[in-house]
Amino acid sequence: MLEIGSLVDGKYKVLRVVGQGGMSVVYQAVNEKANKIWAIKEVRKDGVQNFEVVKQNLIVETELLKRFNHPNLPSIIDVIDTEDAFLIVMDYIEGNSLSKSLEESGAQDQEDVVEWSKQLCDVLGYLHSRKPPIIYRDMKPANVMLKPDGNISLIDFGTAREFKSSSVEDTTCLGTQGYAAPEQYGGHGQTDARTDIYCLGATMYHLVTGHNPSMPPYEMYPIRQWNPALSSGLEQIIIKCTQRNPEDRYQNCAELMYDLEHYRDLDIENQKTQKKRWKGFLICAILTVVFALGAVGLKIGENMLKASTYDGLIEDALYKASQQSGKEGTDGTEKYKEEIAMLDKAIKLEPGNTKAYSELLKLYKNEGDWFLSSKEYIDLSTKVYSHRNEIKEKDKEAYAQLAKEIADASFLAVDEGEETKGYENANTWYDRVLETSKDEQLIKETTTRNTIVKSWVDKDKASLNLEGKETGIDTPYDNLFKMLSTFVNDSDMDNENIVIRLRCYKTVSNLLFTKDYEFLNVVKRDEFNELVNTLSQKISQVESSEQYVSNVDKYKGYLKTMLEGTKEEIEKMQEGKNNAGK
């Protein structure tokens, strides 16, 4: 095994073991020059039978991954063939496998499973669209990593193969019993895209029920036999995915993706409701024809067509966006031009309906990992604000919720050198939430976040002419310091999302570091130091095991270094004053 602290290939420092299998060990390593974390997969030559065969499989796996460009797939960076082992350097994926989630908490939330399945469906669709198609063949919870941002990554391509149209059946039986399709056992035909669909169906079954199909009773029952509260629509999807005959399954990932996007529409209860509505519609239509063939009938028809077209445009945009994986683009506004045009048409039809705006926001957030670029912000905020009156008239709380999501995305998009603009955008939309909403929880969350955003916006408005300050009269920096103190000591902040919390702590740290002179002109040094120490403790209390953001320890280290710098600056200022006094 590699030694912890050793240097691989002169540049990768081994930090710790993060996983171990029958033939391999996975380490976390860092390229200190590039300040980048990587994973190193080591397969030792000693103790492995037929190592050359294993090595060839590894080479096939690495060559496959090198050709891929998809956000849900890891990238191969380096391959090192040493005297003792074969090493693969790849993206380090922070998080845990879905199999660990099952071990820790059993059956997973249905909505989460559907969201993960859509991402897996998307990545499988990407693999199947390669030329020649790549068949993954080993989908299971252990091979799916759940990252801190809620997205997933598909790992371990040791069993993947290129589809050969000339083959009648596979020559090798690979896959995991219980998840593998019948054709993977030989004699049942060649594995193809429908094989991966079977494996994904078995994976969904395990995640949503908590029952492992590779363990007794070795059979996948309808999921509602385990939990009647589960969706009958999702049950239908899983049953169709796991049919023994490939002809009876979904024939491609696009078909499966569509049903996953609309699984609630497949629910038995929903279908009954739709039938009742359809009967009611027929009765109304007949009565309309009989009693009013004029303007009333035309108006009803127009409204029905309008609603149908609105939903249809959104569905078409989402489906088209799901096919965009791997496409180059500077940002969402460039990459999703056609999809945005469809959503714009929907907005034009029903400007008061928040659904199209929400889907546009999701589109942009997915493109940038939960935040908005400047162009995306301008596009979305202009559309929402220009139709604010129609949206509020239809549903004020829906407008407030949308405003908060735009504010959060603006806040998290703040980059070095562009703080003021990002914070001003967030402040604007947080204010709109507070002006509109009556929801106590929403108001509470928004107020907490807006406090820190506003403190940064207000810093440049604070008076710099602090000489001759009248005793007892507050200056803007007095108020700013009180605001920061209240915020840092607010216990509600301890329950915030880790991404928001760290971003807020960074903002406070920046203010204390860049405006220490101004603060120390209006508050006592002991008060200032006390706030710095409290903030440092709060940062230390952020647990790196929380699954929300990458490189938590590194981020904490950066913030604490900034606070130490603040303390050093204070000491220098004090020394300067003492020397001047002498």
Residue 102 sits in the same domain as residue 123 = yes
How far apart, in whole angstroms, are the C-alpha atoms of residue 443 and residue 439? 6
Residue 576 or 528, more confident: 528
CATH of the domain at 120: 1.10.510.10
| The pLDDT of residue 484 is above 70 | yes
Residues 273-291 pLDDT 10s: 555 554 555 555 555 555 5
Amino acid at 148: P
Last residue of a domain, one of 239, 266, 293: 266
pLDDT value of residue 401:
92
Instruction: With cut-offs at 50, 70 and 90, classify the pLDDT of residue 98.
Output: very high
Q: What is the pLDDT of residue 580?
A: 58
Query: Looking at the domain assignment, is residue 475 inside a domain?
Result: yes
**Structural contact between residues 169 and 133, judged by C-beta atoms closer than 8 angstroms:** no
Q: Is the pLDDT of residue 186 over 80?
A: no
Question: Average pLDDT of the chain?
Answer: 78
Q: What percent of the chain has pLDDT over 70?
A: 75
Q: How far apart are alpha carbons 492 and 205 in whole angstroms?
A: 38
Mean pLDDT of 350-361: 90
Q: How far apart are CA 388 and CA 357, in angstroms?
A: 11
Say yes or no to pLDDT of 368 above 60: no
Q: Which amino acid is at 96?
A: N
- Say whether both 113 and 262 belong to one domain: yes
Instruction: In whole angstroms, give the CA distance from residue 55 to residue 88.
Output: 11
What pLDDT sits at residue 253?
Answer: 92
pLDDT score for 525: 85
pLDDT digits (tens, 9 = 90+) for 9-49: 889 999 999 887 767 788 999 998 888 899 998 888 776 66
Would you call 216 exposed, middle or buried from its count of C-beta atoms within 10 A (0-12, 13-18, 19+)?
exposed
Per-residue pLDDT at 467:
40
Closest CA to 496 of 530, 447, 537: 447
State the average pLDDT over residues 529-534.
88
At 149, the amino acid letter reads D
435: confidence class by pLDDT, cuts 50, 70, 90: very high
pLDDT digits (tens, 9 = 90+) for 307-330: 458 888 888 888 777 766 555 555
Q: Tokens 């609630």 — which residue? A: 264
pLDDT band, residue 202 (cuts 50/70/90): very high
Stated as kind and residue range, the H or E segment containing 339 is helix 337-349
Q: What is the pLDDT of residue 555?
A: 65
Kindly report the number of other CB atoms within 10 A of residue 271's CB atom: 13
Residue 330: helix, strand or coil by DSSP?
Answer: coil
Both 133 and 148 in a single domain? yes
pLDDT number for residue 300: 47
For residues 398 and 372, the answer to whether their CB atoms sit within 8 Å is: no
Residue 377 domain-assigned (yes or no): no
3-state secondary structure of 42: strand
Cβ proximity of 423 and 414 under 8 Å: yes
pLDDT given for residue 468 in this prediction: 39
| pLDDT of res. 163 | 54
- The confidence band for 578, taking pLDDT boundaries of 50, 70 and 90, is low
pLDDT at 270: 60
Give, as one character, the DSSP assignment of residue 170. -
Same domain? For 111 and 241 the reply is yes
Residue 369: what are its φ and ψ, rounded to 5°?
Answer: 55, 65
CA pair distance 478, 519, nearest whole angstrom: 8
Q: List, for residues 120-164, the tens digit of each pLDDT value.
A: 999 999 988 888 888 888 899 999 999 988 899 998 776 555 654
CA distance 397 to 341: 26
Report the 10 Å Cβ neighbour count for 361.
20
Under 8 Å CB-to-CB from 408, ≥6 apart: which residues? 426, 449, 500
Positions of E strands within 375-488: none
Cα 188 from Cα 244, distance rounded (Å): 10
pLDDT of residue 470: 41
User: Among 190, 17, 172, 156, which Cα is nearest to 73's?
Assistant: 156
The pLDDT of residue 281 is 55
Three-class DSSP category at 47: coil
DSSP state of 263: G
Residue 413 clears pLDDT 80, i.e. is over it: no
Please state the rounded mean pLDDT for residues 332-358.
86
Q: Are 156 and 136 in contact (CB under 8 A)?
A: no
The partner residues of 16 in beta bridges, in order of sequence, read: 28
CB 376 within 8 A of CB 331: yes
For residue 48, give its domain range: 7-91
Total domain count, the chain: 3
Query: Based on the domain organization, do 168 and 40 belong to the same domain?
Result: no
Taking alpha carbons only, the member of 150, 160, 175 closest to residue 66 is 160
CA distance 44 to 39: 16
d(CA 85, CA 42): 6
- Does residue 175 belong to any structural domain of this protein? yes
**Residue that terminates a domain, selected from 266, 297, 314:** 266
71/170 same-domain check: no
* Distance between CA atoms of residues 29 and 14, nearest Å: 4
Would you say residue 106 has pLDDT above 90?
yes
Does 392 fall in a domain? no
Residue 306 confidence (pLDDT) above 50: no
Domain boundary among 91, 122, 139: 91
- Residues 6 or more apart whose Cβ sits within 8 Å of residue 391: 351, 352, 353, 354, 357, 384, 398, 399, 402
CATH number at residue 46: 3.30.200.20
Give the burial class of 99: count Cβ atoms within 10 A of its Cβ; 0-12 exposed, 13-18 middle, 19 or more buried. Answer: middle
Nearest-5° angle of CA 451, CA 452, CA 456? 115
Q: Is residue 284 part of a domain?
A: no
**577 plus 503 within the same structural domain:** yes
Map residue 88 onto helix, strand or coil: strand
Distance between CA atoms of residues 122 and 72, nearest Å: 9
Question: Which is higher by pLDDT, 274 or 392?
Answer: 392
Contact call for residues 427 and 457 (beta carbons, < 8 A): yes
In this prediction, residue 381 carries a pLDDT of 87
Facing residues of 42 across strands? 25, 87
Q: 124: part of which helix (H) or strand (E)?
A: helix 110-128
State which of 47-56, 114-123, 293-302 shows the largest mean pLDDT.
Answer: 114-123
- Residue 520 is assigned to a structural domain of this protein: yes
Looking at the structure, tell me whether residues 544 and 567 fall in a common domain: yes
Query: Does 25 share its domain with 146?
Result: no
Q: Is residue 384 part of a domain?
A: no
476 inside domain: yes
Q: Which range is least confidently modeled, 265-279, 366-380, 443-457, 497-511?
A: 265-279
Q: What percent of the chain has pLDDT over 90?
A: 27
What confidence category does residue 519 fall into, taking pLDDT thresholds of 50, 70 and 90? confident
**Phi, psi (deg, nearest 5) at residue 340:** -65, -40
Cis peptide before 217 (omega within 30 of 0): yes
Residues 530 and 571 grouped into a single domain: yes
Identify whether residues 154 and 257 lie together within a single domain. Answer: yes
Is the model's pLDDT at 179 over the cut of 50? Answer: yes
Take residue 196 and report the two structure tokens written for it: 């991966």
Residue 304 has pLDDT above 50, yes or no: no
- Domain shared by 54 and 154, yes or no: no
Contact assessment for residue 462 and residue 513, using Cβ atoms and an 8 Å cutoff = no
Q: Is the peptide bond before 476 cis (omega within 30 degrees of 0)?
A: no
**Can you tell me the distance from the alpha carbon of 296 to that of 308, in angstroms, rounded to the nearest whole number?**
19
